[in-house]
Chain A
Amino acid sequence: MSAQRSARRRAKDALLGYALVLPSLVVFGVFVFYPFVKNFSLALHRTPPFPGLPKKYVGLDQVKDVLSSSEFHKSLRITIEFVMLTVPVGIVLGLLLAVLAHKQLRGMGIYRTIFSSTVATSVAAASVIFWTLFNPQIGLVTYWMGRSGDLGVLEDPKTALIAVAVTTVWQNIGLSFILMSAGLQGVPDDLYEAAAVDGADGARRFWHVTLPMLSPTLFFSAVVGSIMAFQAFGQIDILTRGGPDDATNVLVYSIYEDVFRAGNDGVAAVKAIALFVIVLILTIVQLRVAERRVSYAR
């Protein structure tokens, strides 16, 4: 092939390359980067409750106000509490179920299907189900707790977040089980045999073989699970609407209310940036540790 023709071919390839990534880039530009940048502009303005009225540039005053407000601190604390309530429990439960169901025994398939089944429920479906179970007048869970006709679990600030967490953990069990099972399958059998030869019993095998081999999966689940938990919204909207007394007013929910109920985009933007920073830190942590693991494995 002549040099000219190959140069033309390279140019055509390059154009094709740009053309193929262009659709994605356009979508990213409009729906990821533009709104992300706009947050910084919004954060610096006190936005009016209605379009058409003037915005007011206030510099960092609004940022300072929001970040130091007790409302924001409470929301952040609630969100972190929520993550702490759902992520570790979810992983432990998923691991427990996966370990129990990992044996090649009769009927294990049925148990495995049951344990994965919550993948078939969406956040909304699970929330609707549990809203009824927690209903103070007719809920079964309320009845079993002996609280029928008393203050509902979802109406009591002391228990509302836990109830939302229970709903979330249940809905995530399927996913957690599948992830842990997949991780367990990745543990080579000869490692177990070697441990058995060394005289290790079940418990020791678990702590010294299974867990270390599983640690990438565990770590991944923890980080991704936390990121997902920081973004929780649907279950809050259906179960408690952020109440009672803001007891379940997680960050994303308070952003939603700022925009759609109070028309306060400026405040929402500050909180959105805060959320971004948190998720970014978690993502960097995950990437760093994953990198190190890979280099160790090598």
Chain B
Amino acid sequence: MPADPVVPTARRDRRRRIVRLAGRYLLLSVLALIVLFPIYITVVNSLLRPDQIASRPPGLFPTDPQWGAYKEAWEGGHIGRYMLNSAIVTTGIMVGQVLLAILAAYAFAFLEFPGRGFLFVVFLTTMMIPFEVVFFTNYQTIADLGLLNTYGGLILPFLATGFGAFLLRQAFLTVPGELRDAAALDGYGHWRFLWRVAVPLARPTVAALSVFAFLSAWGQYLWPLIVTDDDRARTVQVGLAQLRREALNDINVTFAGVVLASIPLVILLLAFQRQLVRGLTAGAVKG
């Protein structure tokens, strides 16, 4: 802290600080408006009639909200069905990824077997091969297995994750050796040790990985686009694109679909913010 200021300087400083504070709030508000605007206009337009959306100057507030667009999006636009498909597929991927990562990480962290180091490197190299480099051959594989338009076809290629195994191995390695010894003395087999000790201790990482898996699986577009070509297993992301392409004039229905499709993510963001942040920053902190 600087030395005691002279009184007039104090008042000038305080004024300067208030101006700076006001400036900060102003800047924040402008930026917040810009960031929020597309979301705001989506919600507004979902409640307007098409002619109101097209009118100039544009309607920015629904004085007479039309909720029919939501029903039309849910049923006519099949968004309800698509969201169910997305929920099933995303949950499948999330559970599968976390489970397989836990199992592999346990092996890498607690078990000894020849070639362990090599296999771990194999896991790591999978992180260097982006999905977009291999997707079309995977499409052929899924097609040959007869899994097009099925949940299995949407889930299967994503069951394993090198990143997840890496993170969880990291977490498992922090389990103190004494705990392992104590558990061994208590007659804990590997299975019990894994689920009663290791996983609970690694819970923040498991949660972060789960949220991250959910987020990326829910937002997938390319894979569901090519694997599904009818309504049976189509996910909501592809459904939104389809809704937009088919919407000649009923933009309000399209926007209602967008709102509906975003609800799960909003819930995720609000309920699991901490885990979300952790999951997203997992690599950054390490890096």
Contact = CB atoms under 8 A, between A and B. Distances in A.
Contact present between A and B (CB < 8 A):
yes
Interface of A: 10, 13-18, 20-21, 23-25, 27-28, 30-36, 38-39, 42, 96-97, 100-101, 103, 105, 107, 111, 114-133, 137-138, 140, 143, 148, 170, 173, 175, 178-179, 181-183, 186, 216-217, 219-221, 224, 227, 230-231, 233-234, 237-238, 252, 255-256, 259-260, 265, 268, 272-273, 275-276, 279-280, 283, 286, 290, 293
B287 A290 contact: yes
Contacts of B138: 31, 35
Contacts of B170: none
Contact of B262 (A116, A125, A175): A125
A20 B221 contact: no
Contacts of A260: 136, 226
A252 B54 CA distance: 34
Nearest to A182: B281
B283 interface: yes
Contacts of A20: 103-104, 106-107, 111
Contact of B130 (A119, A170, A227, A290): A227
Contacts of A273: 133
B201 interface: no
A39 B221 contact: no
A10 B112 contact: yes
A132 B269 CA distance: 25
A293 B285 CA distance: 12
Given A117-B35, A233-B222, A275-B132, A220 B119 contact: no
B210 interface: no
A175 B215 CA distance: 11
B112 A17 contact: yes
A286 B287 contact: yes
Contact of A14 (B31, B103, B113, B238): B113
B159 interface: yes
| Interface of B (DSSP majority class) | helix
Given A17-B111, A24-B123, A119-B265, 13 more contacts: A16-B107, A20-B107, A31-B134, A119-B269, A122-B262, A124-B237, A124-B241, A124-B261, A125-B237, A128-B257, A220-B287, A234-B241, A256-B222
13 contacts: A16-B107, A27-B159, A31-B160, A32-B126, A38-B137, A100-B27, A114-B32, A122-B218, A128-B257, A129-B39, A138-B53, A233-B222, A256-B136
Contacts of A231: 130-132
Interface string B15-33: 0000001001101100110
B35 A118 contact: yes
A30 B258 CA distance: 35
B56 A31 contact: no
Interface string B88-106: 0000000000001101101
A290 B129 CA distance: 20
Contacts of A217: 284, 287
B174 interface: no
Contact of A111 (B28, B129, B269): B28
B173 interface: no
A224 B126 contact: no
A120 B138 CA distance: 29
B112 A13 contact: yes
Contacts of B31: 96-97, 100, 115
Contacts of A138: 53-54, 251
A229 to B, nearest CB: 12
Contact of A21 (B107, B219, B281): B107
A128 B258 contact: yes
